[in-house]
Structure 1
Amino acid sequence: MNSTPNTSALQGYPRADGRKGIRNIVAVAYLVECAHHVAREIVAQFRPSFDDFAADAREEEPPVHLIGFPGCYPNSYAEQMLERICTHPNVGAVLFVSLGCESMNKHYLADAVRASGRPAAVLTIQEKGGTRSTIQNGLDWVRDARATLAAQEKVPMALDELIVGTICGGSDGTSGITANPAVGRAFDAFIGAGAACIFEETGELVGCEFHMKRRAARPELGDAIVECVQKAARYYTTMGHGSFSVGNADGGLTTQEEKSLGAYSKSGASPIVGIIKPGDVPPTGGLYLLDVVPDGEPRFGFPNISDNAEIGELIACGCHVILFTTGRGSVVGSAISPVIKVCANPATYRNLSGDMDVDAGRILEGRATLDEVGREIVDVTVAVAAGAASKSESLGHQEFILTYKTFEPVGPACLPSGARRVTVAA
């Protein structure tokens, strides 16, 4: 895979911080579970019918997506995640929906969004007369925001401005020999063109830390990678479980190490240039490891309670699009950034073809090579970045989940020389 991806049709929405988005979404963000219903009802008025989704997910007007945080007491991780996601390049405007007595700093978030050059507003249910009145106020604001965004013009976008993330879910015995290494080939092509690529799931890389250390761009980064994975191993040991499900075993995986090797193959063969944590945006192109396991003493049951929690963290790091590999089959998508499904198992693809974008199981049946599927993944990703709908988008999937965690900033060894930890919003 040495050819350069064709990006002649790639355009993006320019943002004040210099980044460009491949979508122009109005995000409606609830700031506590008590405001979830009102926010959901606002978004529901702008969701196309299923028939509209089935026909074409590319709307004439900017789409409206629902995101939010259910907790009432404060958490700096959750606040940072919302700030990063609400100033993500795929987001054009944000409406925050507050009950009024939660701890999330709504005015800080709204100010951060406005400072990024985007329209933003806060609706507080306790001050707006309750459910009906707040929904009506929200509908009016979103209509105005959509009209404003619809007038925004795209500009040319280069491949080295793209950030691509990857995750695996519903893995089976085929994942590590078809879809995952094919995504690795695609990653190498994107990185060769100057893009930033992010892989994660440190809890599913146990046993691979010294392989990654040998690929580290700097010796001190290699040491940090080993500590990052060992932290994940300690976390799971304390909690008494590993990242290995009954479904993985039913699908033919036999050990945590076997699953780790399959997950590791998504990273390709490029040098690893840095480690980042949720909410950190890659400061340069190249391959980055996202550390998703909380710092400090274990205080939470699972580092991520679902695949969508990890997708949200990848989006908070600026990922324009997510490559999701699956062997058993997963139908989830995401709010904010499109999800592209790469199916590892040919039987699963035949059963769930309406949800899958790429049939990597062709490799297993001798109908394609790893390089050919890798090239297809690149082509599909560029097409989605240029405006085509992924399968999950066309079906209306907009899953989102955000929970409690705690992280310390990355150390100087974790970033390329001369780079700094990027903070996007003011």
Structure 2
Amino acid sequence: MQWQGFLRKDDKLGIRNRVLVIYTVECSAFVAREITRLSASLDVECIGFAGCTDNEYAVRLLISLIRHPNIGGVLVVGLGCEYIQPEWLANIAAEAGKENAWLFIQQEGGTAATIKRGTVLVKDMLAELQQTRRASMQLADLVIGAECGGSDYTSGLAGNVVVGRFFDNLVEAGGTAIFEEIVEAIGLLNLLKERALNPEVEAKLVYTYQKALAYCKSVRQYSVSPGNFAGGLSTIEEKSMGAFIKSGTKAIKGVLKVAEKPPEAGLWLLDSTPDPHWMQFGITNPNDSEGLIDLISAGCHLVFLVTGRGSVVGSAVAPCLKITGNSDTYQKLIDDMDFNAGKVLTGECTLAESAAELSKMVAAVAAGSLTKSEELGHKEYFIPYKYQEKTLTLPPKCKL
């Protein structure tokens, strides 16, 4: 399976060719969204950070999205007095070889003037992106992330299982797979340890697990909801088993932090939990949209959202492909769901056949076919205040 991707000036390959409009504070969000809306193009997307004060975590995440291979142009819109400076972000885009511009609403003369100028700038960027060079891509070039949401009993029997088999195939093909939600591995420490590539990775997995468990205890909340119970899940361990199986069976090569890129191909765990001493500063994954944007910040070309009970969200920057293991959910939400893994449970196909079918859909999406969320205009994201180190460094005397 091969297709034509978009070759960036930094030699990275993308599967979309989009302009990203970024607001650097909530005060400039309306203007940024209006610029995006008036551009009237599926290839223009808006994201941003609402906070006025500094948050290194959020800044790193924004930078990672600017550098994302699916992005060809960046317009940064600020008010004029916030911490995050639009010109600085635009310069980072320039260094990555992206089309770029920035605006301060206070300097442009207010809402209407900034929207007018911003719309022209975006139109010019879209015209420039038509000249983007194309290059051949295949599965080995892809980075794909997986997230769960609205799980039910079918998630651990079909939806996540098919994704796990696909991830195995992707890794065998030379590609990169990233799974998330360490707080949905509670009760599975031994399974995590067994999957570690080497003792060093094992130590990192143990530390990350213990940190997540301490976090859940500190906020007195685990990653399980009334909807999960209504969907047939009985315990957090049962939900954890279903969530973990989406990682497949390959060795875990390491632990990534949000906005950190995998140093090589293979299977990786993404940790989005706040780091110690700041546990209360930013709840980890308050919604599925944060988990998706975290995966995208790690460089995912596209992301899976596996749901048993159903979900309608999409994602910005990278396409979101929604998978369910529940055939009833697939039929009920046919306009929102992309892939029915529930056929494995009904006997219509085998696990291997379902994973092969998913591979074909992934290739089609990578080649330009729109996911259901893209067709509907769903481009959700969520960037909170949070504290997290850039990369995982084990503290002294960390024991297995």
The answer on whether the counterparts of 1:210 and 1:226 sit within 8 Å (CA) in structure 2 is no
Match of 1:78 among 55, 58, 70: 58
User: 2:193 corresponds to which residue?
Assistant: 213
Q: What does residue 53 of structure 1 align with?
A: none
| Structure 1 gap ranges (5+) | 1-6, 49-58, 414-426
Matched, 1:36 2:17: no
Cα distance in 1, alignment partners of residues 123 and 376 from structure 2: 23
Letter in 2 for 1:278: V
- Measured after TM superposition, the shift of residue 160 of structure 1 is 1.9
Letter paired with 1:190: L
Name the SS for the 1:363 alignment partner. Answer: helix
Whole-angstrom CA distance in 2 between matches of 1:72 and 1:239: 25
**Aligned partners of 1:361, 1:174: CA distance in 2, in Å?**
7
Mapped partners of 1:46, 1:250: distance in 2 = 42
| TM-fit CA distance, 1:86 | 1.1
Aligned to 1:347: 328
2-side partners of 1:207 and 1:47: how far apart? 47
Q: Which position in structure 1 is the counterpart of 2:231?
A: 251
Letter in 2 for 1:265: I
| C-alpha distance after superposition, 1:208-261 (max 9, x if no partner) | 222121111111211210110111110010101111111111111111100000
1:17-416, aligned counterparts within 5 Å?
A: 17-47=10-40, 63-297=43-277, 298-300=279-281, 302-411=283-392
Is the partner of 1:101 in helix, strand or coil? coil
TM-score, structure 2 normalization: 0.96
> Contact 1:280 / 1:316 at 8 angstroms: preserved in 2?
yes
Which stretch of the first structure deviates more once superposed, 207-216 or 275-284? 207-216
Contact 1:33 1:70 (C-alpha < 8 Å) held by counterparts: yes
CA distance in 2, matches of 1:220, 1:348: 41
Q: Deviations over 1:281-301 (max 9, x none)?
A: 111110000011010221236
The count of residues paired between Structure 1 and Structure 2 equals: 394
Shift of 1:47: 3.0
Kept in 1: contact 2:257–2:392 (CA 8 A): no
| 1:171 partner SS | coil
Report SS of the residue matched to 2:346: coil
The corresponding residue for 1:422 is none
Structure 2: 5+ residue stretches without partners:
395-400
Tell me which moved more, 125-134 or 341-350: 341-350
In structure 2, the residue matched to 1:15 is 8
Aligned to 2:397: none
* Per-residue CA distance 1:28-84 (angstroms, 9 max, x = gap): 001000001101111111235xxxxxxxxxx6xxx1001101011100010010000
> Secondary structure in 1 aligned to 2:345?
coil
Q: Is the 8 A contact 1:206 1:233 kept in 2?
A: yes
What letter is aligned with 1:350? Q
Deviation, 1:109, is 1.2
Q: Distance in 2 between matches of 1:300 and 1:373?
A: 41
Greater alpha carbon shift after TM alignment, 82-91 vs 16-25: 16-25
Letter in 1 for 2:95: A
Considering Cα pairs closer than 8 Å and 6+ residues apart, tell me whether 1 or 2 has the greater RCO: 1
Give the alignment's TM-score, normalised by structure 1.
Answer: 0.90
User: SS in structure 1 opposite 2:342?
Assistant: helix
CA positional deviation for 1:158: 3.3
Opposite residue 12 of structure 2, the aligned amino acid is R
Shift of 1:412: 6.3
Identity of aligned residues (%): 44
Cα distance in 1 for residues equivalent to 2:367 and 2:187: 38
Q: Deviations over 1:274-321 (max 9, x none)?
A: 111111111111000001101022123621111010111111100000
Q: 3-state DSSP class of the match of 1:167? A: strand
Partner Cα separation in structure 1 for residue 125 and residue 361 of structure 2: 30
Task: Report the alpha carbon displacement of residue 378 of structure 1 after superposing the two structures with TM.
Answer: 1.2
Q: Distance in 2 between matches of 1:47 and 1:201?
A: 35
Would you say the 8 A contact 1:206–1:230 is kept in 2?
A: no
| Contact 2:260–2:298 (8 Å) recurs in 1 | yes
Instruction: Please tell me the residue identity of whatever aligns with 1:65.
Output: E
Q: Give the counterpart letter for 2:154 in structure 1.
A: T
AA of the residue aligned to 1:197:
A
Question: For the Cα contact (< 8 Å) 1:160–1:195, is it kept in 2?
Answer: yes
